[in-house]
Structure 1
Amino acid sequence: MFEYVWLIPLFPLIGVVINGLFGKKIKNETVIGGIGALMVFGSFLVSCGILMELLSKPAEERFFEKVLFTWIKSGNFTADIGFLIDPLSTLMIMVVTGVGFLIHVYSIGYMHGEEGFYRYFTYLNLFMFSMLLLVLGNNLLLMFVGWEGVGLCSYLLIGYYFHKKSAGDAGKKAFVMNRVGDFGFLVGTFTLFWYFGQNHNVWTINFRVLGDNAHLLPLGGVVTVITLCFFLGATGKSAQLPLYTWLPDAMEGPTPVSALIHAATMVTAGVYMIGRMNFLFIRSHETMMVIAIVGAATAIFAATIGTAQNDIKRVLAYSTVSQLGFMFLGMGVGAFTAGIFHLMTHAFFKACLFLGSGSVIHAMHHALHHIHSHDDAQDMRNMGGLKKVMPITFLTFLVSTIAIAGIPGFSGFFSKDEILWQAFANPHHGELNMILWGIGAIAAGFTAFYMFRLVFMTFFGECRIKEGAKSHLHESPFVITFPLMVLGVLAVVGGYVGIPKLIGDVLGGIPNYLEHYLEPVFKSSNEFVALQIQHGGAHHHSLVLEWGLMGGSVVIALIGISIAFVLYVVSPSIPAKFTAAFPALHRAVYNKWYVDELYDFLFVNPCKALGNALWKGFDVLVVDGIVNGVATVVKGFGNALRNIQTGYVHNYALGMTLGTVVIVAFYLFR
């Protein structure tokens, strides 16, 4: 199967061609959606075959490169169109194609009746192609092509409803902010290529060759510069401070788009990139510390904003930003496996949560449409009591909420707890470890609070929709609920492939399968850390401490859930009283700490002012002045000369006579 890896990105590309060129003529939604979904399912089947073949090989042989052809060759520089198969890329293609297929199926039902149905599935397949190119590319330049491709597709999908100004603005915002990060990615690529070539005569951007020669790089110094540049790229693509503000606005796109972007694809690209180049990042203590601090800060900052939002999708959007912060916290403390583990479990429960919110919005919109109401179908203040009429949506949503809250037995608990433990016990950041753990644990508590706040406001209590619309509320069709059920199951069982050793020993010696599976990818980094510990002294922590920290994080999550239960089920009048008592605080959190306004003041408005000044001062005065001046001169000559062409014969005769007199006079008197 390794030889057929090129089929994985090819299938979605075929879908792009068919629906893009002929979708408008096909018109049949079932055919268009079926083509889009089947192409992704084909990629999923090939991915399954590759995974099975990879697992059949010894750990040291789980690497394969399929080079199709040489793409660019110039002097010492060579870039291939080639694909890298290893445990990390295989895990990613399984997540991307598996979750992506379910979102495609869901979209067939959710997007029914949309005028641009074929255009939507064309964009969706193009997104899948780009993401698969990103994770399978065997070199930095091919990864960057996929990196830019998902950026383009996010612009197209976020701005899908282009007739809405807010959607168009959100698409442009995502596109521009990602360009800031992409600049860092390019500078990092150029610097890495130049440094390796100039100093070690290794002219390459191939991941395997870079990894084999990483030991040639000195600690810190230029490696810090290179990795910080790459991390800047990751902050843009994966929405970390300060380049995170585009992601909540991405809610302007269709809900399945939010699930695709926020769960398994684009926003995880930065985490994947760091994991792919772990051999570089581990060699810079400074960069690792920056990643850990930014990740922890993003996790807590976004979590606070999520506590005051009323739009069901925006709560989930800030939840995504926060959970991505957890992933970067894991990466920053050297827990690469834990970071990738959380990426995987997050793909399951967050896709289920977004699709569940879409099911709720679908039902609300349908009910409100029947009574011709213009109430916001996404505002949780208009919901309540939906668990009675939408049992499947409620159950899958609840399961995924428990998972993201980090309750033992569910997938999110295993991955989140592993990150928190590594944040405390890692050998990299010394006294900062306790602070990182504390911030992560508090952010987890906020997560449990605002997610259960969402559940209680949406599914519990009295239904607050207008009276006439209540009878029209109903469960979504099977094409929507089927993906929810599959993802709900994965939200429960998905974490059992990575049971931490502490729990595995209690359960009879169950190994951490994911850690063993990914070990070949992170082997050089683990060996580097082990060598550093050997020179600097090992860090020992007792089992009692580990159990205590695990229990502490669970207690914090339970406290968050309990507070949400009291405020939104037992005494729902308390939040209004709290808001009245602390209006300034609530206003600041509700308005997202005014970060967008700050960016407008510091960057957007000055850029607009500069653009207007250049336009009025140079374009209007200089360019338009020259163009209009030439036009005025030509027009003047034209006006003068056209008086000669009068159309009267006697005028022409007079002109000929005067001309003759002038010529004769010239020769007589010269």
Structure 2
Amino acid sequence: MIYKAIVFLPLIGFLIAGLFGRKIGDRASQLITAGLVTVGAILSWKVFGNIAMGGGKDSVHVLDWVNSGTLHFAWAFKIDTLTAVMLVVVNSVSALVHWYSMGYMHEDPDKPRFFAYLSLFTFAMLMLVTSDNLVQMFFGWEGVGLASYLLIGFWFKKPSATAAAIKAFVVNRVGDFGFALGIYGVFALTGSVMFDDIFANIGQFQHATITFLGHDWNAITVVCVLLFIGAMGKSAQLGLHTWLPDAMEGPTPVSALIHAATMVTAGVFLVARFSPVFAFSADALHMVTIIGASTAFFAATIGLVQNDIKRVIAYSTCSQLGYMFFALGVQAYDAAIFHLFTHAFFKALLFLGAGSVIHAMHHEQDMRKMGGLWKKIPFTMAVMVIGNLAITGVYPFAGYFSKDTIIEAAYLSDAAGSQYAFVMGVAAAFLTSFYSWRLAFMTFFGETRADHHTFDHAHEGPWVMRIPLAVLAFGAIAAGFLGHHYFVGEGASTFWNHAVVVHGGEEEHIPFAIKESPFVAMLLGLLLAAWFYLRKTDLPKRTAETWEVLYDFLLNKWYFDELYDFLFVRPAFWIGRFLWKRGDEQTIDGYGPNGIASAVATIAARARKLQSGYVYHYAFAMIIGLAAFVTWFMAHGAGL
């Protein structure tokens, strides 16, 4: 019963707020949805204690679903350590976001709708992480996509918000198409969509092939690549990442929920869940490693020059997801999920902290119009500095344990692409430190660049916004050293209990220089950011002018949007207009309903002219008709 309560309480909250929000009012809608998700979060921690810490597993049958030929599966929950970790992450962050939103959205007129969408998103994510078969996972996968569309476009009267929501929806459909093909491929190969059946039998198909374009491909590799394409879409990996920065158009609590702990980590969860399948495809793992490492570096370079406080953190999310994926690629699945766990706390903290800054600055998001805010919002400054210490990997904060474990796992691995991942990981650590401290220095320190009215009236948010920040700050401090022993340390094998493969790296054999390289990179980034934004404040502008081409390249996000616009968007619009104007209007409508209607109208117009009202016209028509009738009768009678 406890598992059903965890999953369905957010659904109940969604239905109450969505259907009856106007009747029960704003306050009741907020309290009901936040309260139900909070109960789910408390129960999730209880499950974490029983399953993850207690070394247990469970399976819960909800209802029979499909039984058609050889395809049969039920709606059921697969509860193991991986699920327990995800339940804690999803429900805890969601509960804190719900409470935080009460303060952040207090002026919005559509609060019941917003809180209903938050709860729907939470339910869909819980469906995804508790699934025990691919179809159920796909149901949750698409539910998350729908809810994210609704949340990103929540302020639908803003053209930029609706455009961002559509972009997120369309880009994710590209990845979802790959995921759907992967599901079909798994069923064609193994005859099942149930996880336990797939994992138990996949080994016998390691030499099976699929013929495509006249070439034989390893079947498991094809399936893994297709599943990974689905993961790339949801987790915004290089190539399918363009939706994520634009998603900042949604309210800031949405950014925290989507980009910290839930939607963007769905791809990481998918690959981790299918680790027994990926283990049979070195090529697929190589692809995961290269794309993950490239994403970690690529997104970090863009974060260096962004001026919107939320976009900096968004590209940070993209970069951190790259770390998780290259950890999966070198088969350090435990390290990847550990970073997912710690990242949820410090990234939600940074997003909600940014929301407090925006709230204090009357919705201003440009860091060039901030500065000196530590005097006005010292609590927000303190928690965001904690978030920075965690994400940049300062001991003993959370990121130090999880991110360094990933970098060390890449160095120790002998898998293809692992050394590339190690180099990119260290480089991204340097860039992460620079842009994170750049954000802090531009926002909180130095002389203020805000207008006097805005700066004078800046103030901390209400307690309902500050308490979630304090809880997340504690997580950003403690999650790393409290979880290290269990997630990746000596207790990992017992903790994971075969939910994922434990990498078991021998960190003691790593050279001192390699082990300390992330710390050195972090320190260099911090010192460089301090030099640029505290000591020589004219240096950023002069550097941008000196390296104008490189600066524009990074500011324009490597021109991915422009490239996709040229390759895909414009041709799609051209084809659409051609089919609309030539195909639909001129051909189908022209010769179809519009053509027939036009012909009838023309004939009717000409016939109407016969009714002139003059008697001699009617007499003439009668004579002509009589003559025609006599002629026909004579011809017929003569046998002609």
The two structures have a TM-score, normalised by structure 1, of: 0.89
Change in Cα spacing, 1:624 to 1:662, as seen in structure 2 (3 Å) is closer
Change in Cα spacing, 1:640 to 1:491, as seen in structure 2 (3 Å) is same
2:379 corresponds in structure 1 to 392
Q: What SS does the corresponding residue of 1:520 show, helix, strand or coil? A: coil
Deviations 1:82-119 (A, max 9, x none): 11111111110111001100001111111112122221
C-alpha distance in 2 between matches for 1:545 and 1:53: 35
Aligned match of 1:97 in 87, 91, 100? Answer: 91
Change in Cα spacing, 1:594 to 1:661, as seen in structure 2 (3 Å) is closer
* Superposed displacement of residue 13, structure 1: 1.1
Aligned match of 1:303 in 297, 300, 304? Answer: 300
Change in Cα spacing, 1:49 to 1:645, as seen in structure 2 (3 Å) is farther
1:371 corresponds in structure 2 to none
1:370 corresponds in structure 2 to none
Name the Cα RMSD after superposition. Answer: 2.4
CA contact (8 A) 1:65 1:82 kept: yes
Change in Cα spacing, 1:173 to 1:652, as seen in structure 2 (3 Å) is same
Change in Cα spacing, 1:586 to 1:14, as seen in structure 2 (3 Å) is same
CA contact (8 A) 1:29 1:112 kept: no
C-alpha distance in 2 between matches for 1:646 and 1:410: 95
CA contact (8 A) 2:393 2:403 kept: yes
2:186 corresponds in structure 1 to 192
1:16 corresponds in structure 2 to 14
Q: Is 1:212 matched up with 2:177?
A: no
C-alpha distance in 2 between matches for 1:18 and 1:654: 77
CA contact (8 A) 2:53 2:495 kept: no
Q: Is 1:412 matched up with 2:399?
A: yes
CA contact (8 A) 1:450 1:564 kept: yes
Deviations 1:611-662 (A, max 9, x none): 2222233223211211332121111222234456667899878877886787
Aligned match of 1:636 in 602, 606, 610? Answer: 602
Q: Is 1:447 matched up with 2:432?
A: yes
The two structures have a TM-score, normalised by structure 2, of: 0.93
CA contact (8 A) 1:498 1:515 kept: no
CA contact (8 A) 2:408 2:507 kept: no
1:488-567 aligned within 5 A: 488-499=473-484, 512-513=490-491, 516-522=494-500, 525=501, 543=508, 545-567=510-532
CA contact (8 A) 1:281 1:288 kept: yes
Q: Which runs of 5+ in 2 are unaligned?
A: 208-216
Change in Cα spacing, 1:649 to 1:115, as seen in structure 2 (3 Å) is farther
1:606 corresponds in structure 2 to 571
1:235-314 aligned within 5 A: 235-314=232-311
Change in Cα spacing, 1:658 to 1:438, as seen in structure 2 (3 Å) is closer
C-alpha distance in 2 between matches for 1:649 and 1:107: 82
Q: What SS does the corresponding residue of 2:94 show, helix, strand or coil? A: helix
1:401 corresponds in structure 2 to 388
C-alpha distance in 1 between matches for 2:315 and 2:5: 35
Deviations 1:325-381 (A, max 9, x none): 000011000000000000011100000000000000001017xxxxxxxxxx10001
Q: What SS does the corresponding residue of 1:79 show, helix, strand or coil? A: strand
Change in Cα spacing, 1:634 to 1:483, as seen in structure 2 (3 Å) is same
2:212 corresponds in structure 1 to none
C-alpha distance in 1 between matches for 2:157 and 2:414: 53
Q: What SS does the corresponding residue of 2:374 show, helix, strand or coil? A: coil
* Superposed displacement of residue 495, structure 1: 0.8
C-alpha distance in 2 between matches for 1:302 and 1:544: 31
* Superposed displacement of residue 262, structure 1: 0.2
Q: What SS does the corresponding residue of 2:499 show, helix, strand or coil? A: helix
Change in Cα spacing, 1:668 to 1:577, as seen in structure 2 (3 Å) is closer
> Between Structure 1 and Structure 2, how many residues are aligned?
626
Q: What SS does the corresponding residue of 1:66 show, helix, strand or coil? A: strand
1:323 corresponds in structure 2 to 320
C-alpha distance in 1 between matches for 2:319 and 2:150: 25
Q: What SS does the corresponding residue of 2:65 show, helix, strand or coil? A: strand
Moved more, 460-469 or 606-615: 606-615
* Superposed displacement of residue 590, structure 1: 1.1
Aligned match of 2:447 in 451, 462, 472? Answer: 462
CA contact (8 A) 1:497 1:513 kept: no
Moved more, 66-75 or 477-486: 66-75
1:426 corresponds in structure 2 to 413
CA contact (8 A) 1:418 1:500 kept: no
Q: Which runs of 5+ in 1 are unaligned?
A: 197-202, 367-376, 505-509, 531-539
CA contact (8 A) 2:305 2:554 kept: yes
CA contact (8 A) 1:188 1:227 kept: yes
Deviations 1:43-96 (A, max 9, x none): 223323323332575x3xx22221222211110001311111111111101110
Aligned match of 2:587 in 599, 622, 633? Answer: 622
Q: What SS does the corresponding residue of 2:361 show, helix, strand or coil? A: helix
1:372 corresponds in structure 2 to none
* Superposed displacement of residue 516, structure 1: 3.4
* Superposed displacement of residue 153, structure 1: 1.1
CA contact (8 A) 1:20 1:122 kept: yes
> Residue type of the partner of 2:3?
V
Aligned match of 2:67 in 65, 70, 73? Answer: 73
1:153-168 aligned within 5 A: 153-168=147-162
> Residue type of the partner of 1:226?
V
C-alpha distance in 2 between matches for 1:286 and 1:346: 28
Q: What SS does the corresponding residue of 1:5 show, helix, strand or coil? A: helix
Q: What SS does the corresponding residue of 1:68 show, helix, strand or coil? A: strand
Moved more, 263-272 or 108-117: 108-117
Aligned match of 1:342 in 334, 339, 343? Answer: 339
> Residue type of the partner of 2:586?
L
C-alpha distance in 2 between matches for 1:666 and 1:10: 82
Q: What SS does the corresponding residue of 1:161 show, helix, strand or coil? A: coil
Q: Is 1:574 matched up with 2:506?
A: no
C-alpha distance in 2 between matches for 1:339 and 1:171: 28
* Superposed displacement of residue 9, structure 1: 2.2
C-alpha distance in 1 between matches for 2:146 and 2:568: 23
> Residue type of the partner of 1:490?
G
> Residue type of the partner of 1:185?
F
2:548 corresponds in structure 1 to 583
Change in Cα spacing, 1:113 to 1:289, as seen in structure 2 (3 Å) is same
C-alpha distance in 2 between matches for 1:542 and 1:398: 29
C-alpha distance in 1 between matches for 2:104 and 2:605: 64
Deviations 1:423-475 (A, max 9, x none): 0102323xx43332111011011001100000000011111111233221111
Q: Is 1:227 matched up with 2:210?
A: no
Deviations 1:172-202 (A, max 9, x none): 1111111110111111111111111xxxxxx
Q: Is 1:7 matched up with 2:1?
A: no
* Superposed displacement of residue 579, structure 1: 1.4
Q: What SS does the corresponding residue of 1:157 show, helix, strand or coil? A: helix
C-alpha distance in 1 between matches for 2:50 and 2:3: 12
Q: What SS does the corresponding residue of 1:236 show, helix, strand or coil? A: helix
Q: What SS does the corresponding residue of 2:298 show, helix, strand or coil? A: helix
1:639-650 aligned within 5 A: 639-643=605-609
1:200 corresponds in structure 2 to none
* Superposed displacement of residue 385, structure 1: 0.9
